[in-house]
């Protein structure tokens, strides 16, 4: 079908507009339409992912303007994979928001949620750098409002920081795009790759500077050192379903690095080939150390989970920074695992918080939780997966990344940093698990108000947690086929020549 690549962009956009018009009919109707739209997006994403495995890239010329004059959408396996992960995450987060009635805490939650998906899907599909900027702005504007959903003093301050930091980031993005346009005369990613391959030597410095500026912007979105300070407060202060959805937001930065830098400064870029990789690897290692220290030092469960997100992003930056096919395949496996796990952990943390009453998510011994065995078991499962201990998917992801790192000259630095930081994570999570689940008080203090004996909507909210955490055992059981798919995706992503050929001559399509 010819118009297939634009459907994942149109579906949330139209659903969002429809939801805006349906507002007078009340929240129940909005919930139903929003969830049906998210579920339809999941079905579409599964279908598209299945279609992409045939190996053909599909190029969609908006307004039928041929590349590089018009904006092109490029649908390949990497885009299909990101769409699928986003849709799975979105269904879980939205279901949780509906069953816990968090969506009723402010207006327009469902509209903003669809707009967020619209921006995310657009960013994954576009083949034009300026269009990528526009979709970044769409997803950021939706994320600003979602972050503030529900209100509250702490949330507003965290939101203000997030907004200002990202507005400055947008400015730098435009400077980078302007410099690239000035030096290369195009903003189509495939055309930029062709121009960089034939770049005169005197322009190389300018293009490299612009490429590093662009890396700065994507690093800000991905929360790379030293640009990660906005992340912990923003993720820990916002409502749980929004934090769960935001698990994909940092990965958008990593995706943009893989897509834009991997294509424009790919194998045939002459002196500029993979010039950004040492930066990614070095900064990723520093981010990983700081994230592990953050996990260790966190006073609250939700801050700890936010730092775990940071640690997973650092692993991804390291794996992409290895700039090998095995490294990229391992990064994609780890991306799927860490995104769904982080989403599940944020939801699980919220269930625990609601069971602890006034103790909230502070690491103070509280009363025994309702359903403590089930919640404690799930927490241990998720913690084991996040640490990368066998037998869960985090272990395979980290093992694969370390295996890919053995080919790299910095292998000892990578091995040492990853293993030591994993040990720090182990200490921190073992401590928080024992404080939350083992050290319970026999009777409440006199100062304690009445503590909850039941968690409202426990069963239904647990289904959302399980929906996301199910990825952890599934990625182990299906490790072999999944790994083969990831290798195929990585090979297609690194095939820059095929990408260029597909964009400039849509009849070629595939390899």
Does 233 engage in binding with another protein (CB under 8 A)? Answer: yes
* Residue 128, strand partner residues: 188
Smallest distance, another protein to C-beta of residue 160, A:
5
Tally of CB atoms within 10 A around 172 = 14
Residues near another protein (CB under 8 A), total: 47
In angstroms, the CA 499 to CA 502 distance is 5
Does 427 engage in binding with another protein (CB under 8 A)? Answer: no
In angstroms, the CA 447 to CA 443 distance is 11
**Continuous H helices in 108-203:** 109-125, 129-147, 153-184, 189-197
Cis ω for the linkage preceding 229 (within 30 of 0): no
If the CB atoms of residues 45 and 288 are measured against another protein, the closer one turns out to be: 288
Does 378 engage in binding with another protein (CB under 8 A)? Answer: no
If the CB atoms of residues 300 and 408 are measured against another protein, the closer one turns out to be: 300
* Contact string (CB under 8 A) for another protein, positions 280-299, x = contact: --------------x--xxx
DSSP three-state, residue 461? helix
In angstroms, the CA 438 to CA 433 distance is 8
Tokens 């500026």 identify what position? 213
Does 160 engage in binding with another protein (CB under 8 A)? Answer: yes
Does 478 engage in binding with another protein (CB under 8 A)? Answer: no
Does 235 engage in binding with another protein (CB under 8 A)? Answer: no
Smallest distance, another protein to C-beta of residue 137, A:
5
Smallest distance, another protein to C-beta of residue 359, A:
9
Report whether 52 contacts 80 (CB < 8 A).
yes
**Continuous H helices in 406-442:** 411-437
If the CB atoms of residues 32 and 174 are measured against another protein, the closer one turns out to be: 174
Interface with another protein (CB under 8 A), residue from 37, 41, 236, 254: 236
Interface with another protein (CB under 8 A), residue from 10, 25, 164, 406: 164
Subset of residues 183 to 212 that bind another protein, contact rule: CB under 8 A: 187
Instruction: Give kind and range of the element (H or E) at residue 372.
Output: helix 372-387
Interface with another protein (CB under 8 A), residue from 110, 195, 259, 300: 300
Report whether 329 contacts 482 (CB < 8 A).
no
Report whether 363 contacts 300 (CB < 8 A).
yes
Does 141 engage in binding with another protein (CB under 8 A)? Answer: yes
Does 174 engage in binding with another protein (CB under 8 A)? Answer: yes
Does 302 engage in binding with another protein (CB under 8 A)? Answer: yes
Smallest distance, another protein to C-beta of residue 301, A:
8
Interface with another protein (CB under 8 A), residue from 107, 156, 271, 403: 156
Q: For every residue of 307-323, which 3-state class applies, written as one string?
A: HHHHHHHHHHHHHHHCC
Smallest distance, another protein to C-beta of residue 338, A:
21
Interface with another protein (CB under 8 A), residue from 171, 271, 403, 434: 171
Subset of residues 304 to 363 that bind another protein, contact rule: CB under 8 A: 304, 353, 360-362
Count of residues for the chain?
511
* H and E: helices and strands count for the chain: 21, 2
Does 108 engage in binding with another protein (CB under 8 A)? Answer: no
Q: How far is CA 460 from CA 3, 27, 101, 104, in A?
A: 37, 18, 11, 17
Smallest distance, another protein to C-beta of residue 504, A:
18
Does 154 engage in binding with another protein (CB under 8 A)? Answer: yes
Interface with another protein (CB under 8 A), residue from 149, 155, 251, 261: 155
Tally of CB atoms within 10 A around 469 = 24
Does 213 engage in binding with another protein (CB under 8 A)? Answer: no
DSSP three-state, residue 229? coil
DSSP states of 88-106 as a string? HHHHHHHHHHHHTTGGGGS
Subset of residues 16 to 55 that bind another protein, contact rule: CB under 8 A: none
Which residues in this chain contact another protein in the complex, by CB under 8 A? Answer: 130, 134, 137, 141, 144, 148, 151-157, 159-161, 163-164, 167-168, 170-171, 174-175, 177-179, 181-182, 187, 229, 232-233, 236-237, 294, 297-300, 302-304, 353, 360-362
């Amino acid at each position: 079908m010819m118009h297939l690549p634009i459907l994942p962009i149109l579906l949330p956009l139209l659903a969002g507009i429809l939801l805006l018009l349906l507002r007078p009919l009340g929240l129940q109707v909005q919930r139903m339409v929003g969830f049906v739209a998210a579920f339809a997006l999941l079905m579409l994403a599964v279908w598209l992912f299945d279609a992409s495995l045939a190996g053909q890239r599909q190029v969609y010329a908006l307004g039928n303007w041929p590349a590089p004059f018009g904006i092109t959408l490029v649908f390949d396996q990497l885009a299909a994979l990101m769409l699928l992960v986003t849709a799975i995450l979105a269904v879980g987060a939205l279901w949780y928001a509906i069953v816990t009635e968090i969506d009723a805490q402010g207006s327009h939650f469902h509209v903003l949620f669809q707009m967020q998906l619209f921006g995310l899907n657009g960013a994954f599909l576009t083949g034009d750098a300026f269009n990528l900027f526009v979709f970044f702005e769409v997803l950021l504007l939706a994320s600003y409002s979602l972050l503030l959903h529900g209100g509250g003093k702490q949330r507003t301050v965290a939101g203000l920081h997030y907004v200002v930091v990202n507005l400055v980031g947008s400015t730098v993005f435009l400077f980078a795009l302007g410099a690239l346009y000035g030096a290369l005369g195009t903003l189509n990613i495939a055309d930029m790759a062709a121009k960089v391959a034939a770049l005169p030597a005197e322009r190389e410095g300018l293009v490299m500077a612009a490429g590093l500026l662009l890396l700065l912007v994507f690093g800000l979105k991905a929360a790379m050192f030293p640009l990660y300070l906005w992340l912990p407060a923003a993720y820990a202060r916002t409502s749980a379903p929004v934090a769960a959805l935001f698990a994909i937001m940092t990965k958008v930065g990593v995706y943009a690095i893989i897509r834009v830098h991997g294509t424009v400064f790919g194998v045939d870029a002459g002196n500029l080939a993979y010039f950004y990789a040492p930066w990614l690897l070095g900064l990723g290692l520093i981010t990983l150390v700081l994230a592990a220290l953050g996990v260790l030092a966190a006073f609250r469960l939700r801050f700890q989970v936010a730092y775990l997100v940071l640690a997973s992003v650092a692993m991804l930056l390291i794996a992409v920074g290895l700039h090998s096919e095995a490294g990229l395949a391992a990064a994609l496996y780890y991306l799927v695992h860490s995104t769904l796990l982080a989403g599940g952990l944020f939801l699980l943390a919220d269930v625990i918080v609601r069971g602890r009453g006034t103790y909230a998510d502070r690491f103070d011994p509280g009363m025994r939780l309702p359903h403590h065995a089930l919640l404690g078991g799930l927490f241990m499962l998720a913690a084991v997966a996040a640490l990368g201990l066998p037998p869960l998917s985090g272990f395979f992801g980290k093992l694969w990344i370390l295996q890919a790192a053995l080919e790299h000259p910095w292998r000892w630095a990578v091995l040492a940093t990853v293993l030591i930081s994993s040990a720090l994570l182990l200490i921190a999570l073992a401590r928080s698990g024992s404080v939350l689940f083992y050290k319970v008080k026999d009777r409440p203090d006199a100062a304690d108000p009445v503590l909850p004996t039941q968690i409202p909507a426990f069963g239904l909210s647990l289904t959302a947690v399980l929906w996301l955490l199910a990825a952890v055992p599934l990625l182990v059981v299906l490790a072999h086929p999944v790994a083969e798919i990831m290798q195929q995706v990585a090979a297609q992503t690194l095939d820059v020549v095929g990408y260029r050929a597909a964009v400039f001559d849509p009849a070629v399509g595939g390899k």
